[in-house]
Amino acid sequence: MPTPRETILAALHARLSTLPAAALRGDVLPERVPTAGLLILRDGEPGEPEVTLSPLRYHYQHRAEIEAVVQGATRDATFDILCASIGAAIAADRTLGGLCDWVEAEAPRPVDLPVEGAASLKAAVIPVILHYSTADSLA
């Protein structure tokens, strides 16, 4: 039985998989970036939880990361569309079907990465904060 943390991350990955860009989880950047872009979900850090007693609950603000990468002549426009679609996908259900208390993405900080012999990449890490509670710190 998967832990709440894994269930939440899998739900976020499933949400990203509905977008036109290819969505991977924890993989390395492939040699080719699809035309619609590429998203790589990184599990990130759950951080230090706040703890409440009676009943015992661990309240996390888990910081996952989405690496967004686009390539091609229209990379600026494609990147903008990709970021907007990530925001819309998250805003459509900020609880991931009731698994989280709240999900919110932070603004990306894009960079252009040169590629020898090909069009440069435009990439950014988009932090996603997952607010959830568990009864066990290892869950």
- pLDDT, one tens digit per residue, over 48-85 is 999 999 899 999 999 999 999 999 889 999 999 999 99
Strands (E), 46-117: 50-52, 57-71, 102-105, 111-115
Element (H, E) at 133: strand 118-134
Task: List the CATH code of the domain at 4-134.
Answer: 3.30.70
Kindly tell me if the per-residue pLDDT of 130 is higher than 90.
yes
Under DSSP, the state recorded for 95 is T
Query: Please, which residues have CB within 8 angstroms of residue 69's CB and are 6 or more apart in sequence?
Result: 29, 33, 37, 38, 39, 40, 121, 122, 123
Predicted model pTM: 0.94
The token pair that represents 5 in the structure block? 């943390």
> pLDDT by residue (tens digit) across 87-107?
999 999 999 999 999 999 999
Using alpha carbons, select from 132, 122, 127 the residue that is nearest to residue 38.
Answer: 122
- Domain ranges for the chain, please list them: 4-134
User: Per the omega criterion (within 30 degrees of 0), is the bond before 127 cis?
Assistant: no
